[in-house]
C-alpha cells in the first residue's frame, strides 16, 4: 500500500510542478507594454502606473502625489501586469512635469470573465512645448487614444488631465 501511495504522490507532484512551471515561465498571456518616443525625449523620465481612478476623486492633485496601484513602466523597463474586465486606467507621467490619464475599458465576455492579453504601445512626441501621447492598444478590445499631456502644475485645477468646468 505504501508503494502505491508513493507512486501516486510522485505523479501528483510532477503534474503540480509542471503546471507551476507552465503558468510562471511558459504561458504567454500577459499584457505587453512598449514605449517609443522621438529624439527630444528620454525613456528614463517616463513612469506609467496602472489601476483604477474614479471620476469622483476630485482634482488630479492626489493622483499625481500617490499614483495608481501598480507601476508598470519606470527606469526604461516594462513590468508585467494584468488587466481586468471593466475600467483599466493608466497614469502617464513625463519628468514629473507632464501627465495624462487614459482609460481602457474591457467589456466582460461572460464566458471566462478573463480578458485576453493586449499590447499597449505608448508613443510620445514633443510638439512645441507640449508632449503628445498616442496609445495604440492591440488585442481583442483594442483601441487608439491620442491626447496631449497636461502640466503637473495644473493638477489641482484638473480632473482627468482637463480643466474642471464650473
> Could you give the percent of the chain with pLDDT greater than 70?
89
Specify the higher pLDDT residue, 7 or 100: 100
Half-sphere exposure of 138 (CA within 13 A, CB side): 7
d(CA 26, CA 125): 35
pLDDT in tens, 55-94: 777 788 888 888 888 899 989 889 888 888 888 889 999 9
pLDDT of residue 19: 67
Q: What are phi and psi of 77, to 5 degrees?
A: -130, 135
Rounded to two decimals, the pTM is: 0.78
Amino acid at each position: 500500500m505504501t508503494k502505491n501511495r508513493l507512486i501516486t504522490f510522485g505523479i501528483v507532484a510532477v503534474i503540480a510542478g509542471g503546471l507551476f512551471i507552465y503558468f510562471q515561465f511558459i504561458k504567454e498571456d500577459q499584457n505587453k507594454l512598449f514605449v517609443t518616443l522621438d529624439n527630444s525625449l528620454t525613456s528614463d523620465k517616463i513612469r506609467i502606473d496602472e489601476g483604477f481612478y474614479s471620476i469622483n476623486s476630485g482634482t488630479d492633485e492626489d493622483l499625481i502625489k500617490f499614483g495608481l496601484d501598480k507601476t508598470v513602466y519606470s527606469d526604461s523597463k516594462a513590468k508585467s501586469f494584468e488587466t481586468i474586465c471593466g475600467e483599466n486606467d493608466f497614469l502617464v507621467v513625463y519628468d514629473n512635469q507632464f501627465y495624462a490619464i487614459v482609460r481602457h475599458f474591457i467589456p466582460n465576455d461572460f464566458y471566462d470573465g478573463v480578458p485576453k492579453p493586449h499590447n499597449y504601445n505608448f508613443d510620445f512626441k514633443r510638439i512645441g512645448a507640449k508632449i503628445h501621447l498616442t496609445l495604440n492598444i492591440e488585442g481583442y478590445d483594442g483601441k487608439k487614444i491620442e491626447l496631449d499631456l497636461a502640466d503637473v502644475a495644473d493638477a489641482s485645477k484638473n480632473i482627468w488631465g482637463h480643466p474642471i468646468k464650473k
